[in-house]
Amino acid sequence: MTSKAKPAGRLLYAQSGGVTAVINATAAGVIDAARAKGVPVYAAHNGILGALREELIDTSKETKAAIAALRHTPGGAFGSCRYKLKSLEANRTEYERLIDVFRAHDIRWFLYNGGNDSADTALKISQLGKAMDYDIRCIGVPKTVDNDLAVTDCCPGFGSVAKYTAVSTLEASLDVASMADTSTKVFILEVMGRHAGWIAAAAGLAGEGADAPPHIILFPERAFDEAAFLAKVKATVERVGWCTVVASEGLLNAEGQFLAEAGTRDAFGHSQLGGVAPVLAALVKEKLGYKYHWALPDYLQRSARHLASKTDADQAYAVGKAAVDYALAGMNAVMPVIVRTSDAPYRWKIEPAPLSKIANREKKMPANFLTRDGFGITAAARRYLGPLIQGEAPPPYGKNGLPQYVTLKNTMVARKLEPFAR
């Protein structure tokens, strides 16, 4: 096939799991690259569920301007879901349904944009061709604010939440410092991160030195030591006059239990966490008697496109384009990953990596990124994290003072099959 020949078939793109400030930039990269090659792109409505339900969106109905606007629009433009496919042996019906949908719409390439569980789903679907006699190529596309995907240097979505966290820590700390004499002494910010403390670590970029906030960072990688924590808070307040604490939602006690276990599980089987910040605040109040405030940014941290990192936005778009290139080149069961080639100046490139080395693996904070007492980040962590929050890529603003985000038409493709009942 020459470079001018139009590949036969359609490409299906889907978004999975928690969305980010820049996942739509990846979608734009996918659609731009496919359009340049003359390949039609469908998008699954609400992730893999859209593929199972035959709820497919025809992206050719969107204008070039609308697709371009995806690069600065947060959320998931086509809808996402938390749904994990079981093995082919455990639920063959779902896989047969996927193949039926792929056949009905001549889908030859499937791009699944998500994190750890999505990489596992992408790997399973990549194995469908031989198992079910259908030529389908599957590419996993990286995305997660948790930054815990193996192999890749960083994950699209993380740089922006890292920037939001560092900025919020800095700004809130200035507020606390202003009022500490007669009001709040301890401020606790809870951030995302179930098993890996990358987002909490990013808060450390807000300041450097013993008296600069955040004074304490609590990581899932280190068991929570109540006595050491309270001693550090007390010493900081006595020395500085106030104390900023940043805690990961996945903080564990010495027995390996979540401090904020809510007793329920999500669709992926993960424990639902009920809020570690109020648990810590209650300790501070009960044991030390300090006035406190705590904050839980929750969705705000991953949807704050107005404060996105330009580096992150650029990388998100780049992995989308690379995923299309890999798919059309005939690759299967790979993911475009980010490879750092230089810290200063920061340089990076995109390379393919096997999904088998990414699926069901979790990258945690290296030991040399945490200070000896476990309450801060090292110079090595700063060298890694610093470049990822560099640059600003603000969205355009309208006359009403609000960002101008795009809402796609999301024109559905006509169904060709009977409804699917799970």
Altogether, the residues listed in the chain come to a count of 422
Give the pair of three-digit tokens for residue 28: 């734009």
What does residue 96 show for φ and ψ, rounded to 5 degrees? -65, -40
* Percentages (nearest 5) of helix, strand, coil residues in the chain: 40, 20, 40
Closest CA to 109 of 322, 325, 327, 331: 327
Q: Is the distance from CB of 371 to CB of 145 less than 8 angstroms? A: no
Neighbour-count burial of 289, counting CB atoms closer than 10 A to its CB (0-12 exposed, 13-18 middle, 19+ buried): exposed
Q: At what angle do helices 276-283 and 226-240 cross, to 10 degrees?
A: 70
Q: CA-CA distances (angstroms) from residue 141 to 15, 79, 345, 388?
A: 9, 16, 26, 19
Whether the Cβ atoms of residue 328 and residue 37 lie closer than 8 Å to each other: yes
Give the C-alpha separation, 315 to 329, whole Å. 21
Catalytic residue among 146, 148, 312, 314: 146
Asked about 146 being catalytic, the answer comes back as yes
Query: Six-digit token pair at 62?
Result: 């969107």
Output the CA–CA distances (angstroms, integers) from residue 60 to 40, 43, 102, 319, in the order listed. 7, 10, 18, 21
Question: In terms of Cα–Cα distance, which of 145, 123, 126, 87 is closest to 357?
Answer: 123
Catalytically active residues, by annotation? 146
